Amino acid sequence: MSVEAWTLILVAITFGLYLYIGWWARVRETAGFYVAERGIPPIANGAATAADWMSAASFISMAGLISFLGYDGTVYLMGWTGGYVLLALLLAPYLRKYGKYTVPDFIGDRYYSKWARAVAAIATIFISLTYVAGQMRGVGIVFSRYLQVDLAIGVLIGMAVVSFFAVLGGMKGITWTQVAQYTVLIIAYLIPGVAIAAKLTGIPIPQLALTFTDIAQRLSDIQVELGMGEYLAPFQKFSAINVFAITFALMVGTAGLPHVIIRFYTVPNVRSARWSAGWALLFIALLYTTAPAIGVFAKYNLIQSLNDQPLEQVRQINWVSKWEQTGLLKLEDKNGDGKLQFTGNPETNEVTIDRDIIVLSTPEVAQLAPFVIALVAAGGLAAALSTAAGLLLAMSSAVSHDLYYRIFRPDASEAQRLLVGRAMVFLAILVAGYFGVNPPGFVGEVVAFAFGLAAASLFPAILLGIFDQRMNREGAIAGILTGLIFTAVMIVLMRSTKLLGTEAPILESFLGINAQGIGTVGMILNFIVAYIVSRATPPPPQEIQDLVQDIRIPKGVGQASAHH
């Protein structure tokens, strides 16, 4: 059976499963729509959090980024993993103890201000919209390659499935669908990783194959020979300051992502929030420790398969011709010798590979069974759709709960709030669909910008809201606006060739820091401005200071102290 036939079967089965879960988990109340009735078991919430976390960027792009950036590509690995630990330790248990529906809910109540709530809601929409663009690009890539359908039609199919289970089931439907999607995506990621590790090194465990064999060194030697730079040497693609800034922006931005934070509102209590954070870390580690191995195996395999091979012979290979049709693989015989050569110079390099296809193409390059290749396609779709669903709900909640209900219509009935919530999910899906057809960049970078915006806006406000009793609304709003505006403007100036159509970037870097790491500077500015403004204005009311104290103290400590 062909790869396309297997893909069609697996996509039909998995999409059918997601639709069934969406129908089974349909809700009729806002508590079910926004926080899944706070009844999700820790292990299920851990799997759903991992699926939320592991987007198309993690599944499709991360191994590709490591594959092409070498040592410097590990900034994504360190940033995203470190950020999760930060979230689990510093934010999640406290936010769960506070116990509302959304991140703007916390910021609005903590800073006793509709303006703070509105600013946080707008920041949530902005971040989620940037992030969801990357997911839709991933959906389009998988459909255009494996089902040979137009990218726009592929995106429409994906959005139709997401809209069904997100509109009907809200957070409850999304959570249980994400549990299924995590199962699909992790199996799809590990099976090819194990098969390729065994084939190239004789060791079937990818992590051990990368650590205890010389495959990475062999790749590095080949790259040096071809003039592509040493694979294992640091600071080849990014300067030292950018490695630090990007890693930190990804780490802090991850911890501030609203669609992940709201997952911890869905469990019954604080203890369950801590347990689900632990389960999620385990589930995420399975994929994140496999990604560097796949990145190395894929690059080694691609160079060995294509370099110095006759162009016409290469074009006869099935996977080459199909990826070439998508435009994501380009072969050019620039020197006219009839053979393909990898070089480190873009002027002479004859093989151009889009980083987003590394994971998807690796099973084909390694000549694995069609079933495995199709499974990877289904896994890529599961990763993109699971994160997209979480983002859509975060955007919908920001508009329907934080803006509509908490600011404009506090007297809205349960039915009206649910209707607006569902309408907002549907509207957000339409916007996400537009970005799926007209993607602004490749998946990993677009997502990295979302992390930068989250790092510069929401993270400082949440952290100070928990740990700084003196922080007031004036400081928080000034900090969020400063961080968000600074980071967004810097990204637009540094990426003006794509965003504004200029011939060269208006600004190359800021103090040597590029667009992906600029969120770190935005976050520092946010902290400084928030601190100065809060100390120059009146302190928060006493009940707010008591609230902060209560959030930080574990339940039972007060009573225990009273007996001594």
The pLDDT score that the predictor gives to residue 515 is 87
Tell me, yes or no, whether 106 lies in a domain: no
Q: How far is CA 277 from CA 59, 86, 408, in A?
A: 20, 11, 34
Annotate 247-261 with b (16+ C-beta within 10 A) or e (fewer).
Answer: bbbbbbbbbbbbbbb
3-state secondary structure of 336: coil
Tell me, yes or no, whether 389 lies in a domain: yes
Q: Which of these, 374, 234, 215, 371, lies nearest to 301 by C-alpha position? A: 215
Total domains in the chain come to: 1
Taking the chain (564 residues) in runs of 10, the rounded mean pLDDT of each run is: 85 89 84 83 92 80 84 86 85 81 86 88 81 74 75 81 81 89 91 90 93 92 88 86 91 82 84 88 90 90 89 87 83 89 87 82 84 87 84 85 87 86 85 74 60 86 93 93 91 81 88 91 96 96 90 57 40
Name the token pair of 321.
């011709």
Which amino acid makes up residue 477? I
Domain that holds residue 438: 3-100+119-247+259-444
Tell me, yes or no, whether 253 lies in a domain: no
Name the token pair of 323.
């990826």
Distance CA 72, CA 65 (A): 9
The pLDDT score that the predictor gives to residue 562 is 42
Determine the length of the chain.
564
Tell me, yes or no, whether 466 lies in a domain: no
CATH number of residue 216's parent domain: 1.20.1730.10
Q: Which residues pair with 330 in a beta bridge?
A: 352
Q: Which of these, 178, 179, 180, 204, lies nearest to 193 by C-alpha position? A: 204
Distance CA 552, CA 542 (A): 16
Tell me, yes or no, whether 341 lies in a domain: yes
The pLDDT score that the predictor gives to residue 559 is 45
Contact 226, 307 (CB under 8 A): yes
The pLDDT score that the predictor gives to residue 461 is 92
Name the token pair of 372.
């495995």
Contact 104, 95 (CB under 8 A): no
**pTM of the model as a whole:** 0.83
Residue 433's contacts (CB-CB under 8 Å, 6 or more residues apart) are: 136, 155, 156, 159
Tell me, yes or no, whether 302 lies in a domain: yes
Tell me, yes or no, whether 315 lies in a domain: yes
Tell me, yes or no, whether 219 lies in a domain: yes
The pLDDT score that the predictor gives to residue 554 is 58
